[in-house]
Amino acid sequence: MVAIKITEAVDRLPELIKHTTETSQPIILTAEDEPQAVLLGLKAFETLIGVRKYAERQLMPLDILQHQLKQALVEAGYDTKEKIIELVQEAKTKNGGRTREPVDDSRNKNRQ
């Protein structure tokens, strides 16, 4: 990433805007060698906002999700515990026995 003093950036603003727009690379604006702000092209900014909106979206309540999942399983013919276990075992077999690593949720718990 490029870093530039704010006082220098003022004189070079059109050039810096062109650079960040063409490269999608942010430019760090500094004062007394400390980062103070970021100059960012519009596309990169819109991407960040989109990611933020996605992360902040309202999630479906767990009880509704569970109900919909159960309903979908029943509609697909998986109406008993045994059939669901068989489905999971088939999926594991097709996946070569691999399972995903458990999600480390400790980072999120520390934020609360």
Is residue 76 domain-resident?
A: yes
Q: Which residue has the higher pLDDT, 21 or 101?
A: 21
Reading the block at residue 69, the tokens are: 């999942």
Structure pTM?
0.49
> For the chain, what is the mean pLDDT?
86
Residues 9 and 31 in one domain: yes
Burial class (CB in 10 A: 0-12, 13-18, 19+), 99: exposed
* Mean pLDDT of the 68-86 span: 93
What was the pLDDT predicted at 21?
A: 93
- Residues spanned by the domain of 86: 60-97
From CA 33, how far away is CA 35, in angstroms rounded?
7
Residues 16 and 41 in one domain: yes
Q: Which residue has the higher pLDDT, 54 or 39?
A: 39
The tens digit of pLDDT for each residue in 85-108 reads: 999 999 888 887 676 666 555 544
Count of domains observed in the chain: 2
From CA 28, how far away is CA 4, in angstroms rounded?
6
From CA 39, how far away is CA 31, in angstroms rounded?
14
CATH code at 31? 3.40.1620.10
What was the pLDDT predicted at 108?
A: 44
Is residue 109 domain-resident?
A: no
Is residue 108 domain-resident?
A: no
Residues 44 and 70 in one domain: no
